[in-house]
Structure 1
Amino acid sequence: MVVADRWHDGGPYERYIGRWSRPVADRFLESLDAERGIRWVDVGCGTGALTAAVVERYAPSSIVGVDPSEGFLAAARDRPGIVGRPEVRFVVGDAQHLPLPDGAADAVVSGLVLNFVPDAAAAVAEFSRVAAPGGLIAAYVWDYSGGMRMLRHFWDAAAAVDPAAVALDEGRRFPICDPQPLRDLWSAAPGMDGDSVRVDAIDVETVFSDFDDLWSPFLGGQGPAPSYLASATDAARTAVRDRMRATVEPATRPDGSIALNARAWAIVGRRS
């Protein structure tokens, strides 16, 4: 079964995963040993959650957000905290071939995107190339195998309804999203200081007002799970919904809200 991931409309993505991107970005930045007033690059910046968090926390002298989706960049340019900031610039580009010169940044970061890059090693080599000597090189990805509970509930429900969905499960598709593969990737990157590499867990709570607040963003068509649902029959979508409703029932509070943990893995290193 082949279903292409869709990444062209920032609005539905914000309602689906984007609304949880900022809390994770804040926790990620808290863990970094970064200075204020330096040059940043945000690779795969999407709708700008991490870019905005960098601007707020570190007051960069400049920050360039790079993403292949003009639709997502349009949403990033309109994000509160970014509009009207002359030090913020967005460009269309590919993580494997960054449109930036060598040593252009003191910090190169990437949030929730590395697993979607066809050649992650080539992307991290680009991060290293763009980083100045001693520069920070860091990223984070969801723990798709189990820690990102909203997605785990979805794919388990989808597989129970449609065995073909197993091949699309992000936990299966993205083995890189675990500590050892990430550590190996960073340690092997050209120019990386291997002794500086570390992996940290980032946990945040995702709270949904009710089941519809959890389920309806999966119908927005942006990202792997929503792209799968868009390709499914009406009957299959209904069956996945009902199965998922049953599996999240233990996490449902008396007021109907649903609280699920979301874990990401952060990988941090420096250019030698």
Structure 2
Amino acid sequence: MFDYDSELARHHERLLTALDIRPGDRVLDIGCGTGRTTRDAARAASPGSALGIDVSGPALAQALRQAEAEGLRNVDFVRGDAQAHPFPQEYFGLGVSRFGTMFFSDPVAAFANIGRALRPGARLVQLVWQAADRQEWHTAIRAALAGGHASSAPGSTADDPFALADPEVVAEVLTAAGFTAVDVVDVREPVCYGPDADRARAAVLQLRMAKDWLADLDASSAGRALDRLSATLDAHDTGDGVWFDSRAWLVGARRP
């Protein structure tokens, strides 16, 4: 399983600072993955609580194991789609997502459902990716694997990690879903793909975008693509990890 926690460590710290979680808060983590944000929220909110929701069973199993290993008793996880999950109404005092809200098939319906789970006056704070051409991790890896022959990553709109890249679209979606006071802040932090180039290559090849770009190549073309990938990762190996530039939006909104 790809280690998103290590990849997003710098973004994670920026998000935690923006959340400003207080003791007693009830936190909802949308698209929680393996639960790093959920667990950190639970620690900060104690004696409050945190609930993480995600569609991935394997990720949630890892999240539960880690929460048990850390002795956290005020955290829980549920498998489901936040777009339609029957959350308790007006229960949570804070909603959060670390790159987990870009994949809704109907984002207005999804954020409206999340909004109903938040108490009046509660904040929703999320990180989403800016446009693909602002992501060095995307452009450099794409150039290596696709060899300049693909203009964008394959996949449906519902699978687009850049679906919320336009701040105007984000504001329109959240407003239509019933949120107010939408605020969008530029965040520029590097992402890490591994402690060295060899392990970064193994990590990248776990990603769907890499599998999709390699899927239609013959053996000879795939071999050249992997050689280019290795050269790209070597060039970004700082001796303290393999780092790529990235840009995100830190989006805040409030439930009226």
Q: TM-score range by the shorter chain?
A: 0.7 to 0.9
Kindly indicate whether the alpha-carbon contact (under 8 Å) linking 2:128 and 2:164 is maintained by their aligned counterparts in 1: no
Structure 2 distance, partners of 1:231, 1:244, is: 15
Per the alignment, residue 197 of structure 2 pairs with 211
**SS of the residue aligned with 1:101?**
coil
Per the alignment, residue 260 of structure 1 pairs with 244
Deviation of 1:182 (Å): 1.8
Per the alignment, residue 188 of structure 1 pairs with 176
**SS of the residue aligned with 1:113?**
coil
Structure 2 distance, partners of 1:170, 1:242, is: 28
Deviation of 1:47 (Å): 0.5
Kindly indicate whether the alpha-carbon contact (under 8 Å) linking 1:144 and 1:151 is maintained by their aligned counterparts in 2: no
Per the alignment, residue 3 of structure 1 pairs with none
Deviation of 1:69 (Å): 1.4
Asked if residue 127 in structure 1 is aligned to residue 111 in structure 2, the reply is: no
Kindly indicate whether the alpha-carbon contact (under 8 Å) linking 1:198 and 1:269 is maintained by their aligned counterparts in 2: yes
**Which runs of 5 or more residues in structure 2 are unaligned?**
none
**Which runs of 5 or more residues in structure 1 are unaligned?**
1-11
Structure 2 distance, partners of 1:202, 1:224, is: 25
Structure 2 distance, partners of 1:206, 1:52, is: 21
Structure 2 distance, partners of 1:71, 1:116, is: 18
Matches within 5 A, 1:153-232: 153-160=140-147, 162-163=149-150, 166-168=152-154, 173=160, 174-190=162-178, 192-193=179-180, 196-207=181-192, 208-220=194-206, 223-228=207-212, 231-232=215-216
Alignment-mate amino acid for residue 228 of structure 2:
R
Per the alignment, residue 117 of structure 1 pairs with 104
**SS of the residue aligned with 1:186?**
helix
The CA deviation string for residues 55-80 of structure 1, in whole angstroms up to 9 with x for no partner, is 23343611111111111100111226
Deviation of 1:13 (Å): 1.9
TM-score, normalising length from structure 2? 0.84
- Judging changes above 3 Å, is the alpha-carbon distance between structure 1 residues 149 and 213 closer, same or farther for their aligned structure 2 residues? farther
The CA deviation string for residues 25-69 of structure 1, in whole angstroms up to 9 with x for no partner, is 221121235433211111111111211221233436111111111
Per the alignment, residue 24 of structure 1 pairs with 11
Per the alignment, residue 239 of structure 1 pairs with 224
TM-score, normalising length from structure 1? 0.79
Kindly indicate whether the alpha-carbon contact (under 8 Å) linking 2:130 and 2:164 is maintained by their aligned counterparts in 1: no
Per the alignment, residue 48 of structure 2 pairs with 61
Structure 1 distance, partners of 2:147, 2:50, is: 44
- Judging changes above 3 Å, is the alpha-carbon distance between structure 1 residues 138 and 206 closer, same or farther for their aligned structure 2 residues? closer
The structure 1 residue matched to 2:82, chosen from 85, 95, 100, is: 95
Deviation of 1:81 (Å): 7.8
- Number of matched residues? 252
Range with greater deviation from structure 2 (85-94 or 239-248)? 239-248
Deviation of 1:105 (Å): 0.5
RMSD: 2.9
Structure 2 distance, partners of 1:215, 1:169, is: 22
Alignment-mate amino acid for residue 88 of structure 2:
P
